[in-house]
Every structure is written in structure tokens, then in C-alpha cells.
């Protein structure tokens, strides 16, 4: 049984381009919410800082962490390795902090299957339509269009995992979406009533995949 004084684990996953990273950053501004910083073997992007956005490590270091069983979960995503180390997460939860995870469906499955003694709430974020997603993924030149087409194919595979999450939220407007997630987290923590329509989501997924 999760203790009332412990923090809550909140996972956000989504296909690429649904706006999840922005939402995680917005949620981290709420009092007592902190982001879990992952390790990755991916190279930093120009706007990313080591030890803040990620712990950027090489494959040897990543393998060492796997062998030492330091990961709560780890997965290969788009040819790079990503993982969440256990100790910082457990420390935060034991101090009563709510921990936000920006991780993919493989990591979400692993954490779910661990059945830890902390409350877990999982969210899957979806774009409002395929057209909006394609626009978000593509820029003006042809090279970006090809990458966007590749990501659209990946989207068709990733979206199928929606069913394994507690809540699916559509990111039609970032502020609106943030508020919906915040309300659902508060309702879960306080055992309040939840404004959530599963049939609506099921129809939305059908539209996105047809
Ligand atoms: P990006 O390279 O664009 O930052 O992230 C690529 C994907 O990896 C995203 O879906 C992100 O949520 C996921 N990801 C980031 N950190 C982790 C992690 O620690 N574990 C897992 N399983 N996925 C992660």
C-alpha cells in the first residue's frame, strides 16, 4: 500500500511531436513536482544541458549502470539508449515529492510491472489530428519532410500503446491539456471525481489510425 506521505510517480509518454516534453516542463513548475532526469547515450542537442535535460553518457557507462542494476527501467529508442536510475527517484518519493517521468511506452511498462510501493499515474498524450502532427513534425525543406514521413510511420506503431495507460489526453491546446492533466492528478491524489471520457478517446484513436 502506498503511504500518504510518499510522493506519487507520474509518467507521460507520447508519440513524437505530441508536445509531451513541454507538458512535463509545465507540470514541473507546480509546487512539489520534480522531473526525473534520465541517462542517455544520445548526443546533446544545441539547446540541451548535461545533468539538467539528461545525464549524457557513453555506451560503456550505460552498460556499467545496467550491470550494476542501477536502472529502474531502460530502453532503446530510435537507436539510442535511455534509462532512469532508481536511487534519485526513490529518494524524492520518500521525501514526499511527486516525480514526473518523460519516458517511452517500454519504460512505462517496466515501471508498471515493478509494482513499487508508490502510487503511479500514467498519461499518454496524443495530437488532435494526423494533419496537425505532420505540420508539427515537418519544416519547410524536403529533408525535414522525409523525416516527418518516417516519424508518421513510427506514430502509427506507437499510438497502439495508448490502451496500457491510465489516461489519454489530447494536446489540442497546450494550456488546456496541461490543466486537464493537472486536474486528473489532483483527483487521483485526493480520490476525487475524474472528468474523463474513455469512449471519446477510443473514437479519437480510431480516427488517428484510420
Ligand atoms: P529525445 O531523444 O527526443 O529526448 O527522447 C526520445 C524518446 O525517449 C522520448 O519518447 C522520451 O520520452 C524517451 N525517453 C527519454 N528518457 C527516457 C528514459 O529514461 N527511459 C525511457 N524508456 N525512455 C526515455
Is 140 strand, coil or helix? coil
Q: Does residue 210 register a pLDDT over 90?
A: no
Residue nearest to atom 6 of ligand 1 (CA): 77
Condensed to tens digits (0 to 9), the pLDDT of residues 7-41 reads 999 999 998 888 899 999 999 999 999 999 999 99
Residue 50 in grid coordinates: 548535461
Phi, psi of 101 (to 5 degrees): -115, 125
Of ligand 1's listed atoms, the one at least distance from the Cα of 106 is 22
pLDDT at 124: 97
CA of 143 to the centre of ligand 1 (A): 23
Structure pTM?
Answer: 0.94
Ligand 1 pocket list (CB less than 6 A): 38, 42, 73, 75, 77, 82-84, 102-104, 106-107
Query: Which residue has the CA at smallest separation from atom 24 of ligand 1?
Result: 103
Spacing, Cα 186 to ligand 1 middle (Å): 25
Question: Ligand 1 mean position to 103 CA, how many Å?
Answer: 5
Atom of ligand 1 nearest to the CA of 84: 19
Q: What is the pLDDT of residues 86-106, one digit of tens each?
A: 999 999 999 999 999 999 999
For ligand 1, atom 12, the nearest C-alpha belongs to 103
Other CB atoms within 10 Å distance of the CB of residue 165: 21
Question: 109 by DSSP, 3-state: which?
Answer: helix
Distance 173 CA to ligand 1 centre (A): 22
State yes or no: pLDDT of 130 exceeds 60.
yes
Say which DSSP state 31 is in: T
Tell the burial category of 38 from Cβ atoms under 10 Å away from its Cβ (0-12, 13-18, 19+).
Answer: buried
DSSP 38: P
Q: Are 171 and 177 in contact (CB under 8 A)?
A: yes
Average pLDDT, the chain: 93
pLDDT band at 78 (very low <50, low <70, confident <90, very high): confident
Q: What cell numbers appear for 103 in the block?
A: 519516458
DSSP 178-204: HHHHHHHHHHHHTT------HHHHHHH
* Domains of the chain, earliest start first: 9-209 (3.40.50.300)
Amino acid at each position: 500500500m502506498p503511504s500518504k506521505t510518499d510522493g506519487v510517480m507520474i509518467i507521460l509518454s507520447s508519440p513524437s511531436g505530441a508536445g509531451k516534453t513541454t507538458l512535463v516542463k509545465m507540470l514541473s513548475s507546480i509546487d512539489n513536482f520534480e522531473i526525473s532526469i534520465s541517462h542517455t547515450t544520445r548526443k546533446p542537442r544545441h539547446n540541451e544541458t548535461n545533468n539538467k535535460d539528461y545525464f549524457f553518457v557513453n555506451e560503456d557507462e550505460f552498460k556499467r549502470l545496467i550491470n550494476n542494476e542501477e536502472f529502474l527501467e531502460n530502453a532503446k529508442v530510435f537507436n539510442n539508449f535511455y534509462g532512469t536510475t532508481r536511487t534519485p527517484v526513490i529518494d524524492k518519493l520518500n521525501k514526499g515529492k511527486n516525480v514526473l517521468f518523460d519516458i517511452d511506452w517500454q519504460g512505462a511498462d517496466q515501471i508498471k510491472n515493478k509494482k513499487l510501493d508508490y502510487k503511479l499515474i500514467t498519461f499518454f498524450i496524443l495530437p488532435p489530428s494526423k494533419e496537425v502532427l505532420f505540420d508539427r513534425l515537418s519544416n519547410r525543406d524536403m529533408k525535414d519532410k522525409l523525416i516527418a514521413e518516417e516519424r508518421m510511420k513510427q506514430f502509427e506503431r506507437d499510438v497502439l500503446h495508448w490502451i496500457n495507460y491510465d489516461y489519454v489526453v489530447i494536446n489540442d491546446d497546450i494550456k488546456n491539456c496541461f490543466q486537464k492533466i493537472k486536474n486528473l492528478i489532483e483527483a487521483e491524489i485526493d480520490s476525487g471525481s475524474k472528468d474523463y471520457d474513455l469512449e471519446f478517446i477510443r473514437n479519437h484513436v480510431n480516427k488517428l489510425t484510420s
